[in-house]
Structure 1
């Protein structure tokens, strides 16, 4: 979309590149805020470990997708500068510079802070130079009995060329000295750790006099590499790990069967083009050069790790250890008081709307609504979108049951949900076998909206019951993500949702909705229109106010509109968890805009838009961030919260509450860096998430 060039009312050029933060760098910056949790002594130590592994996982995905796509476009000469004006070469150089800082900080925290903190609580990751003789003997036996039988080492020579290395797997480059059975001098060999082997080995308490000693598999492989290559002297063994492009490319308009095309593409994902090589800090240049040549990478793609290259694997002990005192206190989500035991959900929703605030309130209410629908003889049809459902989803079981009970069940499954493609293809097959009508959405537009529609015969007519959410129909996510769900039988909202489903399944023409904001049709224009309305209020001497809670903000036109609103005097507060390309606090441009990010126990995921509208405020909960892809290239919905009491509740809990946070809030500066907020002198500490935990689960 071409950006606006006429800005007659602005004293500065609001399209100037220096006013915009690069979206990739903004996304990378989020990980520094998460990593700070791993360094926070007030966070339970196993949670600190979990945060460190979350950052490692985020970094993997960042390279698999964002860096991979950028490198591909750069190689083709197809990368065009965004609003920030940076070339692809400049972005890649800055990504490397900042990633080196992030990787260095990960391993500094691992060695200097997290390791000692874990040790103090009786948990040790024991390196091979610290093994006792008793531990060494046990690990050698474990190696001989459990590891050695499944290894397939590969010597490198013209008859044994460099093998295909699977994405993100643990490998060793081994330097050998001596002659083999055929009289050849020592050479290089590779050892690939089989995927069936655990990457973290728990040493029995009888061996360690402690039940908290763990060893990385890589350490064991390095220590007993001589047994893998009898007759050779093992000079050294070096860890390495390659990250590959994981972005699937399917020309949807040119395929007859999207599921089959995706399945074929998935088969090669693990061996796609390399984008990053991680090596141990001790890996010599000659070995690194050999690996670089085989993976066709450059110096800028190499990252040295001062510790295990697969440090992400350390996180498995979080679930292995029964140490509740080292984790966040357990909580039980509150059951919505609207649904007392034995109540009929349809009776409740026939009288009033019900709001659910996850994870503080239980997702069980959604499950029970669908259970009721699957069994109720009056229910004729059920329609639902599934973006990510997770394994063993009770909702999927109930959809299958509903179909078998004679209900007309339609499910829109987004096959292209990143890293869930394979699971969603399997889910689609299961539902189809049960008689569910499965729709894959619209070519070129991911179906990201979270919608459930139930059509029920009541008396002589039909009534629609709806659940709309800011988050996925995924029980696991509902325990760790903050989201808002609305249950309603509002006739206009129900009719709107019916029309959206009809469009998704029937590929019909443009539809007119009464209540919902609908991407890619009206959501963008509605958001822009509401910003313009606040500008008009401010220009006419009335208060202008915007508060929005999002995961990300990068759509350049929206950013420019917010700059104009700030110039007009509109007061703007943005609560943005991840990437934000807007620069707040620039005099004459954005000095009326404040941007904060909340990083806490739960992943902030709810999207809420609030517009003051001169005392007649409007509030929407949505599945969409203010990103180009959500506003232009996805199927999304934003639902108004119409009941005044529920509207106040959403405002108070998701906006006002978060604006008062002075313990887990990070404030974005005009330079693109974040500073953590702390209570001022005499100010009581306030954590938005903890306040909600106390309110609902106290």
Structure 2
């Protein structure tokens, strides 16, 4: 089994290593290197909250299905994970030390409690008194009392206190760092107009420990940070009297009490305090107890203060207008021809404009749209609320089970329903991940329909940093299928299979997408056996579905040319009997490669789809997903051109091989960095 597939979780760690490579790369601008360390840390937190938690749950089962689901026994994978994570943590710490040296070369310093000037000491004391002290709650620890509740995602300081006269007597305490309230970083006053000094909030607290604990008379303090990562899964109860929203709320509360899956601590922590914490948290050798550097919850460094000089930043590549959308009503444009928006290169504005136009158009009768992850101050939602206030019938399929966005989506549900929007909350046991919108208007006794299909969320914030495709269209066949999907979503208790199978143009999960993908691969296999030209190009965030991987193996064995661009999880392994070697790369760069695209040569007809679904079993069999076929010749060429640019990336492309070695692609004399080349390609098209 292990010779045919790489374990999903190990390949995910390999992806996160590619993120760490970006932080290690000295050619990457300094502020982006820091940001990549933050992304690496945030990714790892979620990995332990979800995947490691799932593996630990699976250890309780001996069923063969569990082993097949993970490709290896969970115990073996967990041990492998622990070894890899410890090694990555060491590389992380080395990288952070090197970055700090590079920051110092540019007069940027992170100060701590021991290296403050007199002026900075006065500032920190005053800042603590005015801003911090009221948010600090010290908790004294003792052997006979239960361990206080520790929150996931929070950062804690473990404090060992002593009196110089009684060195062998220690008192322990913990303090939760109030970074959620105050932010993690404190900018210290400039003293020479050259140097930028930044202090972490925990160091502000550490500097003031004698004041905090003055009542006890301690005169020696050791303070080191730690954090606990907890199981983020929650089970929804089967009480039919309870709504899904109520079950989600209950699940969020239960998540806060999840079992620890990882304990990360400063390796310089007082040994007696460390032993105390491990014992009181009921951690054992099977748990991930990971020594690290001084700083934890590094995800906050994604928002490190902007103290960098202009020459340390890359040449700005700002988003630009799609040429077909400049100075025109988007509604009129897409009645004549489809538009393909490529984010983050194109502005997200046309999507908002289309919804705003619909809200104000007296002929528009209804808007139906799916929502998975929304911006915190969503312009999409604002446009939909405006539509309701203008008398439109608005339906939003709001996926309440979008992981880690549950609370946010519950809040949006309340806001939308208060405004009169009809909110759908999905189908039991199936997340709605499709990215769809259909707008209906009645004009001159005719019903017109138009809207959009996307590979990514309708989120104007992430559209600035995620690479995605969005098709704006009035294609009748596509709109008809979107309507069918919404009919299913409106009546989730009825049999969905028959209704979704009636979709003729969209490839839909969980009914037809897998079947149609296999059909396309089979056609390429037939062509290869006949000695004719073949080509399959798949771009996806993840490739882990065993059936489709095996089908790609079959295609490569038959001689089909298969090229893959997989950002993250990649479970395929090249086999010796492949007639045509699988070409597989991963691109990790400034933007998150999020688009899903399928291309099949098909005797020259070049069938091309954009999709919301990754090639994972969960997406194909347990979610509502949709893929739209691109039929307009110029748009098909545009997507193919972008795919070719990405396949030729020899700067940020990494080879996906059996050993997960993450070697960079080395080919050709000319350097091709696909995100920059794609920007220039689309910029030139915008000028035509």
TM-score where L is the length of structure 2: 0.93
Task: Give distance in 1, aligned partners of 2:139 and 2:279.
Answer: 18
Q: Which residue of 2 aligns with 1:7?
A: none
Equivalent positions of 1:381-400 (< 5 A) are 381-400=366-385
TM-score where L is the length of structure 1: 0.92
C-alpha distance 317-502 of structure 1, shift in aligned 2 (>3 A) = same
- SS of corresponding position for 1:205: coil
Q: Which residue of 1 aligns with 2:542?
A: 552
Equivalent positions of 1:612-627 (< 5 A) are 612-627=601-616
Match of 2:639 among 650, 664, 670: 650
CA offset digits 1:254-298 (Å, max 9, x no partner) = 563011111122134333211111111112443222212222222
What 5-or-longer segments of structure 2 have no aligned partner? none
CA offset digits 1:98-145 (Å, max 9, x no partner) = 11111111110000x211221222211123443334433432343344
C-alpha distance 93-86 of structure 1, shift in aligned 2 (>3 A) = same
1:301 aligns to 2:283 (yes or no): no
- SS of corresponding position for 1:173: strand
Q: Which residue of 1 aligns with 2:203?
A: 219
Q: Which residue of 1 aligns with 2:563?
A: 573
Q: Residues 136 and 175 of structure 2 are in contact (CA less than 8 Å); yes or no, is this contact kept in structure 1?
A: yes
Q: Which residue of 1 aligns with 2:171?
A: 187
Q: Which residue of 2 aligns with 1:660?
A: 648
Q: Residues 21 and 84 of structure 1 are in contact (CA less than 8 Å); yes or no, is this contact kept in structure 2?
A: no
Q: CA deviation at 1:467?
A: 0.4
Q: Which range moved further: 616-625 or 320-329?
A: 320-329
Match of 1:607 among 580, 596, 601: 596
Equivalences, count: 672
C-alpha distance 164-228 of structure 1, shift in aligned 2 (>3 A) = same
Q: CA deviation at 1:490?
A: 1.1
Q: Which residue of 2 aligns with 1:462?
A: 447
1:123 aligns to 2:108 (yes or no): yes
Q: Which residue of 2 aligns with 1:8?
A: none
Q: CA deviation at 1:235?
A: 4.6
Q: Which residue of 2 aligns with 1:164?
A: 149
Q: Residues 252 and 258 of structure 1 are in contact (CA less than 8 Å); yes or no, is this contact kept in structure 2?
A: no
Q: Which range moved further: 357-366 or 260-269?
A: 260-269
Task: Give distance in 1, aligned partners of 2:5 and 2:270.
Answer: 40
Q: Which residue of 2 aligns with 1:524?
A: 514
Match of 1:314 among 298, 301, 316: 301
Q: Which range moved further: 332-341 or 193-202?
A: 193-202
Match of 2:353 among 368, 373, 376: 368
Match of 1:277 among 263, 266, 285: 263
C-alpha distance 302-377 of structure 1, shift in aligned 2 (>3 A) = same
CA offset digits 1:33-81 (Å, max 9, x no partner) = 1111112222111111111111011111111111112112224556711
Q: Which range moved further: 506-515 or 350-359?
A: 506-515
Task: Give distance in 2, aligned partners of 1:539 and 1:252.
Answer: 51
Task: Give distance in 2, aligned partners of 1:590 and 1:136.
Answer: 69
Q: CA deviation at 1:695?
A: 3.0
C-alpha distance 297-122 of structure 1, shift in aligned 2 (>3 A) = same
C-alpha distance 347-314 of structure 1, shift in aligned 2 (>3 A) = closer
C-alpha distance 676-252 of structure 1, shift in aligned 2 (>3 A) = farther
Q: Residues 558 and 579 of structure 2 are in contact (CA less than 8 Å); yes or no, is this contact kept in structure 1?
A: no
Q: Which range moved further: 122-131 or 460-469?
A: 122-131
CA offset digits 1:411-439 (Å, max 9, x no partner) = 10000111111111111111111111110
Q: CA deviation at 1:202?
A: 1.3
Q: Residues 37 and 48 of structure 1 are in contact (CA less than 8 Å); yes or no, is this contact kept in structure 2?
A: yes
What 5-or-longer segments of structure 1 have no aligned partner? 1-15
- SS of corresponding position for 2:462: helix
Q: Which range moved further: 446-455 or 278-287?
A: 278-287
C-alpha distance 88-254 of structure 1, shift in aligned 2 (>3 A) = farther
- SS of corresponding position for 1:80: helix
Q: Which residue of 2 aligns with 1:588?
A: 577
Q: CA deviation at 1:637?
A: 0.3
Q: Which residue of 1 aligns with 2:464?
A: 479
Q: Which residue of 2 aligns with 1:63?
A: 48
C-alpha distance 689-529 of structure 1, shift in aligned 2 (>3 A) = same
Q: Residues 365 and 442 of structure 2 are in contact (CA less than 8 Å); yes or no, is this contact kept in structure 1?
A: yes
- SS of corresponding position for 2:342: strand
Q: Residues 583 and 671 of structure 1 are in contact (CA less than 8 Å); yes or no, is this contact kept in structure 2?
A: no
